[in-house]
Amino acid sequence: MKIHVYYGGRGIVDDPTIYALDKMEGVLKELNVDITRYNLYDYKANITTLCNTLKEADAVILATTLEWYGIGGYMQQFLDVCWMYGDKETISGMYMFPLVMAKTYGEREAKNTLMTAWELLGGVPLDGLCSYVDDRLEFELNKNYTAILENAAENLYRAVSKKLVTLPTSNGVIKKNVIKEAMSLTPKETEQLSKYVADENYVQTQKKDIEELSNIFKNMLASQDNGGDDYYTKTFEKHFNTYSGHLTILINITNKNKSVIIDIDDDRCGTKMGTTDSADVSVKMQSDTFDDIVGGRKTFQRGFMSGEITYKGDLAKLRKLDTIFTF
């Protein structure tokens, strides 16, 4: 029989949870149980992979210390990881013994939190132990308390070895409904995903990629709000005034990676998205400058003088842009 212990305290010397675990582990070892303890504070950097160790166990002890409120950050993070990346088939039917030692009020609530979380994961929670400990030394010297810890270890052994059957609970139904919203991944896929998440370089790369995609979609949405590509083409056709002769204008909106070709032939103005090397006038600007120009808040010449527009071609034709198009 293999039992894994996941300790969510901080590992301080006077932590009563450590004493309680030592007593229980001593009894279990005498019963030839293979005990492995995982101190969660030692796995802060790669806790996402820790859920993979569950497949090696027949039962687990979730032990934590209540220092002010709740089950503590390490234990909560471990349970979150079990939900996101743990193999639900492995956890299903696995016994869990909750152990909570409290230095303040709330030990029963913390124990119930562990039990409820394990039920939602699909496992089988046992009654476990919880206690308020004001003075660790007094707690350790009390023979009655020691006997309770030892008896609890024996009961855990009996429950696992005899495959104790428990009555169904409503949490099992909730679990079936909630798990529908989770990703449908195979055990191998969830294990691989947990390894990726534990790789800091991979995580940072993913964050950067997500940020870039987010910016792209924001730009796309902003463009769609203004009419999509029509915003960059039809706007010039709509506000075309007059021109005598032939003129090809290329306007490049650099941060949108969009270019508009405006082809003018006397009183005809045609536009399309694209690029060309034969433009008579080439203009580059940012999208906010473009918005100001087509919104009538700024002229081409003013944008050029302020450095917001870069221009290639005959400067006289640049000045004419403000008369060719009236915004």
pLDDT per position as a tens digit, 295-313: 888 888 888 888 898 888 8
Neighbours of 289 (CB within 10 A): 22
Tens digits of residue pLDDT in 171-211: 666 555 555 445 555 555 555 555 555 556 655 776 777 77
> What's the CA gap between 72 and 300, in Å, rounded?
61
Tokens of 207: 């964050």
> What's the CA gap between 304 and 253, in Å, rounded?
14
pLDDT, residue 212, reads: 74
Q: Give CATH for domain 230-324.
A: 3.30.1050.10
pLDDT greater than 50 at residue 135: yes
What is each CA distance from 220 to 88, 199, 215, 225, 254, in whole angstroms?
A: 39, 31, 9, 9, 14
Domain at 2-198, CATH class: alpha beta
pLDDT, residue 224, reads: 47
Any idea where the domains of the chain sit in the sequence?
A: 2-198, 199-226, 230-324
Neighbours of 192 (CB within 10 A): 13
Tens digits of residue pLDDT in 24-79: 999 999 999 999 999 999 988 888 889 889 988 999 999 999 998 889 999 999 99
The pTM of the full predicted model, rounded to 2 decimals, is 0.59
